[in-house]
Amino acid sequence: MPPVPAAPSLDRPQRILITGASSGIGAALASAYAASGVSLVLGGRDRGRLASIEAACRAAGAEVETAAVDVVDAVAVRRWIETADDRAPLDLVVANAGISAGTGTAGESEAQARAIFATNVDGVANTVWPALQRMERRARGQIALMSSLAAFRGFPGAPAYCASKAAVRVWGEGLRGECRAKGVAVTVICPGYVESPMTAVNDFPMPFLMSAERAARIVKRGLARNRARIAFPLPMYFAAWLLGVLSPGLTDPLLMRLPKKK
């Protein structure tokens, strides 16, 4: 009887699924993991950009499957993830897809807030649940949830976005303790400003703005070490944490004067 191959370690996942892989950190992560012996399952809404990422990852030696999928569609996402897992068990799932919008000069509409929650909260849940159920059954795997440094304090310029990322952060941190005994590692990712189509529309200064490639290297290293929280850059992380600790009565006057996101 042939020996059963060892399960991939966290620092060398062999089959990786990433949502929101057509741009930003998602695309950069796909490129960072692309190598011979690695199988990538990439989802995104922009077919053109997704095809470009697929070509680059194949050139690096990876096997690549792509799908034009919207994480808001729970049925389609579950079908996509379970089909991919049936082909070969997923080692790492990165629930990265998300959208951003702010209040501009007119405030935030109900429709905009609901759209943000649908993608950033429900979309993450739609990705995590089918993957988690499969991983728990085999008692191995890793799940990463994309939050943000905006998760530590509600900013008047983007209340729904901050709230959505706070929900993801707290849920992921709770899941980590819940899933550890079941053999599944869970990490929450909290980046600051990263170059992407999402931040390209911002017409205000973005402190410590970094490239998506550098962010992907930080995330990949943190996942390999099974970090509970990957938050960066450190100066922005400290500032976000401090704003979350201080009384809103002290910080509201400052935050209300900050530039508003479109």
Q: Of the given ranges (99-108, 120-129, 206-215), which has the lowest mean pLDDT?
A: 99-108
Tell me whether residue 212 is exposed, middle or buried, using C-beta atoms within 10 angstroms of its C-beta: 0 to 12, 13 to 18, 19 or more: buried
171-178 mean pLDDT: 97
Q: What's the pLDDT tens digit per position in 89-100?
A: 999 999 999 998
**CA–CA dist 158, 98 (Å, integer):** 14
Task: Sort 177 into a burial class: Cβ within 10 Å, 0-12 / 13-18 / 19+.
Answer: exposed
CA-closest candidate to residue 103, choices 239, 238, 253, 204? 204
Taking only the tens place, the pLDDT of each residue in 125-149 is: 999 999 999 999 999 999 999 999 9
- The answer on pLDDT for 103 being more than 70 is no
Domains of the chain by range and CATH?
Answer: 15-255 (3.40.50.720)
161 among known catalytic residues? yes
Q: Which of 33, 161, 193, 237 is catalytic?
A: 161
Rg (CA), the chain: 18
User: What does the block give as tokens for 193?
Assistant: 């400003």
**pLDDT tens digits, 6-51:** 556 687 999 999 999 999 999 999 999 999 999 999 999 999 999 9
H helices, E strands: number in the chain: 10, 7
